[in-house]
Amino acid sequence: MTFPLSRLKVGIDVPWVTSWSAEPVTGVGACLTTPGLPAVMQASRPGYGKPNYSENHHYRQRLSVQRMLCPMCGQPTQKGDRWTLTAKRKTAGTLRAQGLGDSIPSDLADTRVVIDAGAIAPLHKACAEASAVQCPHLSADPALDLKTFALRWMISPLLVPTDQPGLPPVVAFLQLCGITDAHDRR
Ligand SMILES: [Zn+2]
């Protein structure tokens, strides 16, 4: 099956992190974004076929979190220009209660406020503002809230089971959580 080059431009019309129909999942393998852990691998042909807006590309998503690349344009974000639209403020205690405590430093108090960005790396402010207008999914979200990301963060693997019995789960995506200096003492 061949996939023609789309008229839609990656990083302009379609987020850089979005998966395309020309990019099938190819299996499990070693990935530089997940040292020591096997990961879901996917063909890389962004811009060919049709964008699957609801699906992140496995490798580009992991790279965006690991290297702080803007998911919209794919370029590095710098300290002072890292923004989120959809991240939720929680406490470290809430994350631990959700079973996501493995990546939280043990010296972080349960009251410490964290910014759960899910699988979405911070964007440049200009990219965030453009996405909020252009993306139908985002522009329909009443909870949309442009705010700065944190100066420190932690990354945890989002694991999926393999279809082969007896093998351990593999990394599908990376989850990102910012660490603030604030405490929630309610
Ligand atoms: Zn950007």
Contact call for residues 151 and 79 (beta carbons, < 8 A):
yes
| 23-77 per-position pLDDT tens digit | 999 999 999 999 999 999 999 999 999 999 989 999 999 999 999 999 999 999 9
Cβ neighbours for 84, distance < 8 A, ≥ 6 positions apart = 115, 117, 120, 122, 123, 128, 146, 147, 148, 149
pLDDT mean over 125-152 = 90
* Eight-class DSSP state of 151: S
List, in sequence order, the alpha helices (H) in 45-170. Answer: 58-67, 92-97, 125-134, 136-139
What spacing in Å lies between the alpha carbon of 154 and ligand 1's midpoint? 21
Q: Which two tokens stand for residue 33?
A: 């974004």
For residue 131, pLDDT over 80 is answered with yes
What's the pLDDT score for residue 75? Answer: 98
Both tokens assigned to 64 = 């965006």
- Cβ distance 95 to 114 under 8 Å? yes
| Confidence class for position 186, pLDDT limits 50, 70, 90 | confident
Report CA(20)–ligand 1 centroid distance (Å).
19
Ligand 1 geometric centre to CA of 117 (Å):
16
How confident is residue 101, by pLDDT bands cut at 50, 70 and 90?
confident
180 alpha carbon to ligand 1 midpoint, in Å? 23
